[in-house]
Amino acid sequence: MKTQAKKTIAIDMDGVIADVEPQLIKYYEQQYGVTTTLEAIQGLSHAEAFPLDAITKASLNMPGFFRDLPLMPGAIEAVKKLMEDYEVYIVSAATEFPLSLFEKLEWLKEHFPFISWRNVVLCGDKSIINTDYMIDDHCKNLDFCPGKAIMFNAHHNKHEHQHVRVHNWDEVLELFENERSKSELSI
Amino acid sequence: MKTQAKKTIAIDMDGVIADVEPQLIKYYEQQYGVTTTLEAIQGLSHAEAFPLDAITKASLNMPGFFRDLPLMPGAIEAVKKLMEDYEVYIVSAATEFPLSLFEKLEWLKEHFPFISWRNVVLCGDKSIINTDYMIDDHCKNLDFCPGKAIMFNAHHNKHEHQHVRVHNWDEVLELFENERSKSELSI
């Protein structure tokens, strides 16, 4: 049997393995005294959902914002499972927010200690990232992916329909289970 | 005339735009009281050149190490020049050294303020980076490059001969001048 290199998956952080929406709501309220809810921001862009923060993105530049983001439910178990068959890279658009870089590594070390620093990419745009799959919540990232693009559902991407959509990590695992069945059929 | 997307170049930081060798020698002397010279380390690997630091890589984890690296001569002007015709990305293997991330961005902001955060990639291995050219001082990075790999001369790569070698930024510009002549001939 020929040994083949594992196929690669680029997995985004914010909105995919880290649940950024409740944190945005919390910081927005603390900074601007305006309360919103998960329900209220569905279908809105970031700028529409958090208009007072749209220009400065001050919330995202506050120390601690990225360090204690809640986990997306099921992410740890699902990533572990995917790593059995795929080479998984965490690819996060982070260089816009310099304070986030160290915090993101610390967050990963806490929640995903089984992911090596070798497999972490903190970048600006993702246009030079080349993986067989990319799981992300932004079209601006997925549109460049030379492999299969998978859109993770988020409040701001409800109206984007050019990529396969998953709503949670169970659906990600289902999708990869189907990919495996397809590739077994084609052997 | 058809407008084509610019070709892309991934440019490494340490040993390519940042002159890491004198800083290594300085930190090694400060930490271990052992003096070495640029001449003495030519042809040696990092572990051979700095044996006491080989396992812990303590020097590279010290605050400030990456923040005040000297510039590689001619790098600023050459990168500016390349940006006229190419989409330039700074791609640095940095996630092994968490403290380096913020310092590298600050260093870039000081010396290369004309490079956007969108074009900065701080990663572990570079195997999923897809650019038309890669300028780097390590085979472990260049070997994966799907485009043209260009090895920037360093003490530790003297014995590696599988990639085109440049010794300084003037030679980089010459190489790209030749690339341009070739592509004009082929039109």
- Interface size A-B, in CB pairs within 8 Å, comes to 83
Task: Determine the residue of chain B that is closest to A103 in CA distance.
Answer: B98
The answer to whether residue A132 scores a pLDDT higher than 50 is yes
A76 touches chain B (CB under 8 A): no
* CA R_g for chain B: 17
Q: b vs e for A133-163, b when ≥16 Cβ sit within 10 Å of the residue's Cβ?
A: bbbbbbbebbebbeebbbbbebbbbeeeeeb
Q: Mean pLDDT, to the nearest integer, of B47-64?
A: 91
DSSP state of A44: -
- Mention every residue, 6+ apart, whose C-beta is less than 8 A from residue B26: none
Q: Residue A180's pLDDT is what?
A: 86
Q: Mean pLDDT, to the nearest integer, of B74-103?
A: 97
Average pLDDT, chain B: 94
Q: How far apart are alpha carbons A62 and A54 in whole angstroms?
A: 14
- The reply to whether residue B121 touches residue A118, judged by beta carbons under 8 angstroms, is no
Cα-flanking dihedrals φ and ψ of residue B123, to 5°? -135, -175
Identify the residue whose tokens are 């952080």: A13
What's the pLDDT tens digit per position in B112-156?
Answer: 999 999 999 999 999 999 999 999 999 999 998 999 999 999 999
| A99 interaction partners in chain B (CB closer than 8 Å) | 102
CA dihedral over B157, B159, B164, B169, signed as positive or negative: positive
pLDDT band at A1 (very low <50, low <70, confident <90, very high): very low
| A131 interaction partners in chain B (CB closer than 8 Å) | 128
Q: Residue A187's pLDDT is what?
A: 64
Q: Residue B137's pLDDT is what?
A: 97
pTM: 0.94
Beta strand spans in B56-156 (E): 86-93, 120-123, 133-136, 148-152
Q: Residue B185's pLDDT is what?
A: 76
Cα-flanking dihedrals φ and ψ of residue A129, to 5°? -90, 125
The distance of B73 to chain A (nearest Cα, Å) reads 26
Rounded to two decimals, the ipTM of the complex is 0.93
| B121 interaction partners in chain A (CB closer than 8 Å) | 95, 121-124, 128
The answer to whether residue B37 scores a pLDDT higher than 70 is yes
Helices (H), B1-146: 20-32, 38-41, 46-49, 75-85, 100-111, 139-142
Adjacent-strand bridge partners of B58: none
B130 touches chain A (CB under 8 A): yes
Q: How far apart are alpha carbons A96 and A101 in whole angstroms?
A: 10
| Known active-site residue A14 | yes
Q: How far apart are alpha carbons B150 and B169 in whole angstroms?
A: 12
What's the pLDDT tens digit per position in A22-72?
Answer: 999 999 999 999 999 999 999 999 999 999 998 889 999 999 999 999 999
Provide the token pair at A137. 């919540």
- Contact predicate B19/B2, CB 8 Å: no
Q: Mean pLDDT, to the nearest integer, of A157-166?
A: 94
- Mention every residue, 6+ apart, whose C-beta is less than 8 A from residue B182: none
Q: Residue B187's pLDDT is what?
A: 63
Range in A76-80, B10-14, B38-42, B164-168 with the lowest mean pLDDT = B38-42
Adjacent-strand bridge partners of B7: B86
Hey, which residues of B are catalytic here? 12, 14
Please report which helix (H) or strand (E) contains residue A92, including its range: strand A86-93
Q: Mean pLDDT, to the nearest integer, of A140-161?
A: 95
